[in-house]
Chain A
Amino acid sequence: MKKVLITLIAALGFVAGAHASSGGIAWDKAPNKTNDMAALQNGAKLFVNYCLNCHSAAFMRFNRLKDIGLTEQQIKDNLLFTTEKVGETMKASIDPKQAKDWFGANPPDLTVIARSRSAAGQGTGGDYLYTYLRTYYPDETQATGWNNLAFPNVGMPHALWELQGKRVPVFETKGAPGHEEHVLKGWEQLTPGTMTPGQYDQAVGDLVSYLQWMGEPAQHSRVRLGVWVLLFLCVLTFFTYRLNAAFWKDVK
């Protein structure tokens, strides 16, 4: 019996190991700032300024940004470029037909992008986006002039390049002869951006946190409510346990 179990578990491990990798480099861990109002507001600003030109968030309403501490007036004054009413959803300003001509595909909707990009064994959708937005490099063979380490041959150009500047990845070869691996060693900055690398990582972290928050705006109230529900159920369980015991104590 034990032997059978061990064999089966070993088989499982073997099968699991064979599937660990897929396209693109390993993901960096994204900072989780979905509870940090200042970071989320900064992320929202970056999102509206840099993403919303081409990408929609068609299920997200502008006035939901009140949840991250903005007032309706602040939203109207600072973030409402593509629509007029604060109750409307975030629609891209680009014409979908043109977008398809330019990029080969319609830029995907970003409302739940962070939720959709999670992958078992690789990380959360936030990790992916955080890696993706920080691993662009110039590549003349691509139509847009840009390529990406997390999403090889990506159709999207580097929208944040002014902030990050141009840089290229530096690889080193590791491992025994015959088993060499290309490993990312670091980056070489070609032209400086308006931000330092540290500031840029910070900004992308804010943007990614915003995308994660936007994927499910109720996520924190959900967890807060859950604590109360569970506390209630603990009390209820205690009483139902006692009720059960009271009825059964005389059953012989």
Chain B
Amino acid sequence: MAEFKDISPNASAGAKLTNWFENRFPTAFDAYKVHMSEYYAPKNFNFWYIFGSLALLVLVIQIVTGIFLVMHYKPDAALAFGSVEYIMRDVPWGWLIRYMHSTGASAFFVVVYLHMYRGLIYGSYRKPRELVWVFGCAIFLALMAEAFMGYLLPWGQMSYWGAQVIVNLFAAIPFVGPDLALLIRGDYVVGDATLNRFFSFHVIAVPLVLLGLVVAHLLALHDVGSNNPDGVEIKGPNAPRDAQGHPLDGIPFHPYYTVHDIFGVSVFLMVFTAIIFFAPEFGGYFLEYNNFIPADPLKTPLHIAPVWYFTPFYSMLRAITTEMMYALIAIVLGAAVFSAIKFKIPTLFKGILVGAAVVVTAMMLSIDAKFWGVVAMGGAVVILFFLPWLDNCEVKSMRYRPDWHKYLYAVFVVNFVVLAYLGTQPPSPVGERVSQVGTLFYFGFFLLMPWWSRIGESKPVPTRVNFVAH
């Protein structure tokens, strides 16, 4: 137990109250110090460092608006669509709450994508922050599940058929697939049972996981300390410190970054509310037009597209055609033979390597391309988890990486946007080719990173962060 602190009887009422609580709940006071007033963050954070706080803000917006939506929403296939319109029309301020929630979903992905991009360019995933990154990827995965299940709830045509398409993908998994899809749906087609279980997952299960992961993400971050645009360790063994042992390149999170973030929040809210009040459908990207038609299990829409934030991965799913499988088989065999010839490894391992490649090839030939599309879509997210162990560049930050890395990352971003765009479009021969090239580039970027990240001349990393006083 912490030491009981006495206070002078002449102290102010406020000080006495604080003392009373501090003696009875010291953990809260310690936590405030550890995570706020004495958490030293690098002083050279730039624009890119706002999106973590914004993600937290959007999470809170989603939870609070979600609580109010659940008060009027009815998770019942016969009533769901009508209850959403009831919220939009008859519930006082219901339209505002609903638009906040629907815009919040897209805003969540916007800030999370930008947050991940920040981590990518400044090497925030590198040692010792691997777990921070891994927890973050888990948050992204949970967020995708949360968004996917939430999207079924309005029970419009896109909700219904989007869920139908995605759940059917699980049926492509060999052996267990059909039973797994049945387990997810709770029925042979998406129906009332599906709606009820998705509702349960959307409002209870996944948010709990999400909150737990956010806590782990933040605790792990505050244990190892924040990275910064220079990739300099401000709390490293040789980092300069003041007389009290605080890092000279750091600054207490509170008040310096709280005021910083409050400013960021007000700018973000301008954009966020502008969309809510002036363009809540956002041209059919945030609220799809087809979703204003009630779900009809007998009428398949001509073109089923997921919401924009899933489209890069959806593109990769569609890119894996039977034709594409031959290209992939050639790549697998080529890579195995190349490794066997090029690397100096025992003959036994060479044999195992080539044997494994042959087995994989046999599987690729015998299992439907649809399944490999699912593997590509899932793999595109899962591969992010391994980023800390794929990057071999000697410096963390893009600022000091070889120049050609910058171009490569730019192509990566453009490629991701192109894949996202193609995912919103109906299939076409040209789009298919472009998305296949894009998919190969996406995976090549990560899988070949151990090799290419070592190529080129890095610039010297300074010992202190670059900070220009405001």
Residues of A within 8 A of B (CB): 1, 4-5, 8, 11-12, 14-16, 18-19, 22, 58-61, 64, 108-109, 111-113, 115-120, 125, 215-218, 222-223, 225-227, 229-230, 233-234, 236-237, 240-241, 243-249, 251-252
Contacts and interface: CB of A to CB of B under 8 A. Distances in A.
Contact of A61 (B90, B255, B294, B421): B90
Contacts of B90: 61
B88 A125 contact: no
What 5 A-B pairs have minimum CB-CB distances, sorted nearest first?
A226-B277, A116-B292, A59-B85, A240-B263, A237-B266
B220 interface: no
12 contacts: A15-B422, A59-B82, A116-B292, A222-B99, A226-B276, A230-B273, A237-B263, A244-B262, A244-B263, A249-B470, A251-B251, A251-B470
A223 B292 contact: no
Interface in B32-68: 43
B277 A225 contact: yes
B459 interface: no
Contact of B470 (A112, A113, A116, A248): A248
A243 B88 contact: no
Nearest to B431: A15
Contacts of B212: none
Contacts of A59: 82, 85-86, 89
B262 to A, nearest CB: 5
Interface string B197-211: 000000000000000
B452 interface: no
Contact of A226 (B266, B278, B290, B470): B278
B289 A119 contact: yes
A211 to B, nearest CB: 12
Given A1-B407, A116-B293, A223-B278, A217 B89 contact: yes
Contacts of B82: 58-59
A229 B95 contact: no
A247 B270 contact: no
A216 B98 CA distance: 13
Nearest to B156: A116
A218 B95 contact: yes
B356 interface: no
Nearest to A111: B85
